[in-house]
Structure 1
Amino acid sequence: MFDVPILRFGKPYDSMEKVDINHFETGETLARLHQATGAMVKMDLRKAQQSREALRQFSIDDLIEKCKKAADLYLNAELPCGTGKLTPEQFCNMQSATTGIPISLCAFNMRKNAYVLSHMGEVIDALTRGLPHEILSKGYGMESRGVMVSYQATTPILGAVLPSNSPGVHTLWLPAIPMQIGLMLKPGSQEFWTPYRITEAFFAAGIPREAISLYPGGHDVGGGLLSDAHRCMIFGSQQTVQQHAGNPRVSVHGPGFSKIILGDDLVDHWEDYLDTMVDSVAANGGRGCINCSSIYASRHTKEIAQAIAKKMSEIVPLPATDPKAILAASTTAGVAESVSNQIDEGLKDGYSTDVSAAFHGGNRIGKLGKSEYLLPTVIHCSSPEAKLANAEYMFPFTSVVECPQNQTIKAIGPTLVCTAITEDPKFSQQLLDAYNIDRLNIGRVKTVQLNWLQPHEGNLVEFLFRNRAFQNSPPPAH
């Protein structure tokens, strides 16, 4: 067992208050996580400029190179974790032990984070649309077309209130460092492992320690970041999204409600796209906002639901050490039963049928040892009015919804990722014009197959910088 202290501008800080981090199944204490307070965060935010100044000692190109070095260290090196040290294998074991995520998926998410770090140059160029890096550093400069442009940082640091459900979400805040914006992070209570390991990889790669602060703690820590940081990212429920809607200082990442739409022109060939649908639902344990939560089609919906349910019935609880494991164990007593009860309540609306019930004997909760697992679930909805038509849960769950194509775009509601299986140019244009779709894939692209050179739930550059007017000479006479 070891201690994991708070990091205040890179310096370890021991707190009087600590919580034991236990193995969810055995109860063994793995680490002691020191607890920050909201008052501490507010105090440190007054000195946040020092994080940005520490990074501005280096050019953006230098910081990109350090990110590449950090990627290798994060993926392959033994790195400090508080007063202890963890190899990559030990890191995955620890993460699995507190989150219930299978070790193979912990390793998969490590590779995803490392990929973004190692390709940071391309990511920054994509987010800035090829803007010369010195324009972000200086605040102004000439574009290649000979036009003066100015980008002003809106904050010295990016605050982030991070979740515990999926280690892959950490890719979203990584580009702040090479853009010379510091980080002040509240890690998740179960999944603090990734922010700490990435931070140590950054330090070992030459990123100045003052650039990053980590504040594990209670809700008051997140409240301090959200109230006082000029720019903050938060991950949470639909209620969290609604709470911060319209606040330009907060970038909210909530449920994705990602969808697949089978167009009328290709729906008769739905069998050809079965693997695309199943993988979109179940990949990475079905825990992410980019997993497909609903599939819309105008016909064949019962057959589609039956085929997906049959295929996903092969996904069963396996030990976390099994390389074939997909399902994450429920780490909190009563949560699996509560989620299952919510689904059962939704089935009472007269529109919905649990197609998977025939494959798991009517019991949606599986057991392995002392652990409970929510088993893959497919619901057939005869109408988009069904309560479960646009539901989302953190396990392999999807609703197959029967809906006329001309009503589908409105019916799907807010959608983070939409994969449309269609070759109809008119319908494709309607999808391109739809305001309720964020990431749009047209063709055989799984909802989970993200191109990291594309913006995700907004463009981080536009969140951290503002484009403004700047002149250092009079304009041409006119």
Structure 2
Amino acid sequence: MLDIPALGPTGPYRTRNRTTVTDASGVPALELASVPGLVVSHWIDQLRASAPLPVAQAADVLAKAADVFADQEVLGDDLDAHERRVAELTGTPLAVVRECDRLITATLRDVARTASAARPAGCAQAGTAVSTSLPAGAAWRRTGDVFAVHAAGNSPGVHAMWPEALALGYRVVVRPSNRNPLTPLRLVTALREAGVPAAQLVVAPCDHATADLIIERSDRAVVYGGQDVVDKYRDRADIRPQGPGRSKLVVAADADRGTGLELARTGALYHAGTACTATTGVLVEHDPAGFAAELAATLAEVTPVGPMSDTALLPCMPEADARRLATALLDRAGEAVVHLAPRAERLGDAGSMAALTPAVVELASPKDPLLAYEMPFPCVWVAPFERGTTDVLDGSLVLSLHTEDLGLIAAASELTSVSNVYRSRPTSWIHPDVPHDGFLGEFLMRATGLALADENETRSDK
């Protein structure tokens, strides 16, 4: 049993109250500290009183943290041992864990550029010193001091996002998921060893009531969760809910069908089907039933293996949990046509661990609410599509259109509830210059108008 402490402003913090976390086979694997509300509240006061990391130094510090994260032992584990431990704990394929860790280190090394990506052209960059020589214009300023992260446990990759806040001068409190406290613990330890003061960055595992307290005591917060989280915080300007992605692929009649099938397969299996950018819905313009059958056939070829295998593509979990999810999917499908039913495939050499195989379900209408229903494994809902009905595509984190029709792409790009629009790419495609659900800086920063120079120097003749 690992003993996982919190990380407070003065170092590791162990508590009497602990949460036992089981691994992917259901066996207790670690005990996680549970920080009480009064302690967390005091920590946030200390964060707020701490001077921010100077923006001019942040890039070098975070780049050094990438080297510590990737190349040094942290808490007794080198990166390979850490990644194996995370895969065994969460049931996430080892290859996915490694990919996410590469994303974390790449983001740390590129933070100087990514942190400026959201800055309007008319703003001086963050950290610009106030001076009476500044002409009339604007500066890029924080909207607060303390940023809270209620992390998800579906993918280690969620921890590639929030270090940008440090580079912008925020102090950060991370409330890790019980499913995977190891990745944020390694990352925060690496950041501290690289030079981020402990009083600017803490890890606070806690119960739900204390998690709510963290949100209320912080100036800005990003919160991961289901539709209930989105509904709870949708009207809060200081909170950015990260809910279901409901990412969709459109396969138009004018595009190559074989390529469309490969796009659907790749998107469905991305990060074992657990990522918000994994493909949930596929809308097909010609013969959706045939497409669903073909997709089912190719996904049925995926071999269920344990997370440590190099060929692992599916999530693993205790067999009882896998059976529960498979049953829930079939119950939800109701009268829909199930082309590929999920099953809990017990892994003989792994005790009670099971891999959960993919599902493909055909819907009669693109307006069926099941098209947006996400499951934590590769599950694809296939529905018919007609041009001129792009409204059914709204509400998608990522929308990929496999088509030659630029007019259709233009219409989809105007949908207000679609964050990312791609052409003939998997919904899971990422690029450092393409924001994920907008730039984080849009949420953390704002333009502050300044006119500090002598009025005679800034006046314009009209």
The verdict on a shared fold, with TM-score over 0.5 as the criterion, is yes
2: CA distance between counterparts of 1:61 and 1:273?
46
Of 320, 325, 339, the residue aligned with 2:325 is 339
TM-superposed CA distance for 1:395, in Å, is 0.8
Of 434, 442, 462, the residue aligned with 1:454 is 434
TM-superposed CA distance for 1:452, in Å, is 2.5
Indicate yes or no: 2:96 matched with 1:100: no
Residue 346 of structure 1 aligns to a residue in which SS? helix
Indicate yes or no: 2:205 matched with 1:216: yes
Alignment partner, residue 360 of structure 1: none
Alignment partner, residue 397 of structure 2: 416
Residue 405 of structure 1 aligns to a residue in which SS? coil
- Write out aligned runs for 1:40-119 (5 A): 40-51=39-50, 53-56=51-54, 60-80=55-75, 85-119=76-110
TM-score normalized by structure 1?
0.89
Q: Deviations over 1:429-455 (max 9, x none)?
A: 11121112111112x211111123232
TM-superposed CA distance for 1:38, in Å, is 2.5
TM-superposed CA distance for 1:110, in Å, is 1.0
TM-superposed CA distance for 1:178, in Å, is 1.3
1: CA distance between counterparts of 2:219 and 2:443?
10
2: CA distance between counterparts of 1:131 and 1:208?
32
Residue 398 of structure 1 aligns to a residue in which SS? strand
Indicate yes or no: 2:252 matched with 1:263: yes
Residue 12 of structure 1 aligns to a residue in which SS? strand
Q: Deviations over 1:324-362 (max 9, x none)?
A: 11111124x64333322332223324xx211114xxxxx
Indicate yes or no: 2:126 matched with 1:173: no
1: CA distance between counterparts of 2:337 and 2:379?
13
1: CA distance between counterparts of 2:125 and 2:326?
53
Alignment partner, residue 6 of structure 1: 6
- Write out aligned runs for 1:76-475 (5 A): 76-80=71-75, 85-128=76-119, 134-138=125-129, 148-266=137-255, 269-331=256-318, 334-349=320-335, 352-357=336-341, 364-369=343-348, 370-407=352-389, 409-442=390-423, 444-473=424-453, 474=455, 475=458
Q: Is the 8 A contact 1:259 1:418 kept in 2?
A: yes
Structure 1 residues 102 and 133: CA distance shift in structure 2, 3 A: farther
TM-superposed CA distance for 1:33, in Å, is 1.7
Q: Deviations over 1:158-205 (max 9, x none)?
A: 101111111111122121111121110100002111111111111222
Q: Is the 8 A contact 2:306 2:316 kept in 1?
A: no
Q: Is the 8 A contact 1:10 1:212 kept in 2?
A: no
2: CA distance between counterparts of 1:288 and 1:10?
34
1: CA distance between counterparts of 2:43 and 2:407?
54
Structure 1 residues 317 and 129: CA distance shift in structure 2, 3 A: farther
2: CA distance between counterparts of 1:327 and 1:63?
37
AA at the equivalent of 2:158: V
Q: Deviations over 1:397-436 (max 9, x none)?
A: 11111121211x2113300001111221221211121112
AA at the equivalent of 2:20: D
Q: Deviations over 1:190-232 (max 9, x none)?
A: 2111111111111222222221111012112211112221101
2: CA distance between counterparts of 1:123 and 1:68?
13
AA at the equivalent of 2:241: V
1: CA distance between counterparts of 2:92 and 2:128?
40
Structure 1 residues 420 and 441: CA distance shift in structure 2, 3 A: same
TM-superposed CA distance for 1:287, in Å, is 0.6
2: CA distance between counterparts of 1:140 and 1:90?
50
Structure 1: which 5+ residue stretches go unaligned? Answer: 358-362
Residue 310 of structure 1 aligns to a residue in which SS? helix
2: CA distance between counterparts of 1:281 and 1:262?
14
Q: Is the 8 A contact 1:140 1:150 kept in 2?
A: no
Residue 389 of structure 1 aligns to a residue in which SS? helix
TM-superposed CA distance for 1:471, in Å, is 1.5
2: CA distance between counterparts of 1:206 and 1:436?
39
TM-score normalized by structure 2?
0.92
Structure 1 residues 141 and 241: CA distance shift in structure 2, 3 A: farther
Q: Is the 8 A contact 2:123 2:139 kept in 1?
A: no
Query: Aligned pairs, how many?
Result: 455
Structure 1 residues 381 and 13: CA distance shift in structure 2, 3 A: same
Residue 406 of structure 1 aligns to a residue in which SS? coil
Residue 46 of structure 2 aligns to a residue in which SS? coil
TM-align CA RMSD: 2.3
Q: Is the 8 A contact 2:26 2:353 kept in 1?
A: no
Q: Deviations over 1:7-30 (max 9, x none)?
A: 122522221222334434272x54
AA at the equivalent of 1:68: A
TM-superposed CA distance for 1:389, in Å, is 2.1
2: CA distance between counterparts of 1:430 and 1:395?
31
1: CA distance between counterparts of 2:340 and 2:133?
59
Structure 2: which 5+ residue stretches go unaligned? Answer: none
1: CA distance between counterparts of 2:152 and 2:198?
23
2: CA distance between counterparts of 1:75 and 1:277?
32
2: CA distance between counterparts of 1:231 and 1:301?
43
TM-superposed CA distance for 1:96, in Å, is 1.7
Q: Deviations over 1:218-271 (max 9, x none)?
A: 1122111122211011000011101100201101100000001123432xx211
Residue 313 of structure 2 aligns to a residue in which SS? coil
Moved more, 450-459 or 234-243: 450-459
TM-superposed CA distance for 1:131, in Å, is 7.5
2: CA distance between counterparts of 1:431 and 1:2?
49
Moved more, 309-318 or 363-372: 363-372
Q: Is the 8 A contact 1:7 1:214 kept in 2?
A: yes
Q: Is the 8 A contact 1:21 1:31 kept in 2?
A: yes
2: CA distance between counterparts of 1:140 and 1:255?
45
Structure 1 residues 141 and 449: CA distance shift in structure 2, 3 A: farther
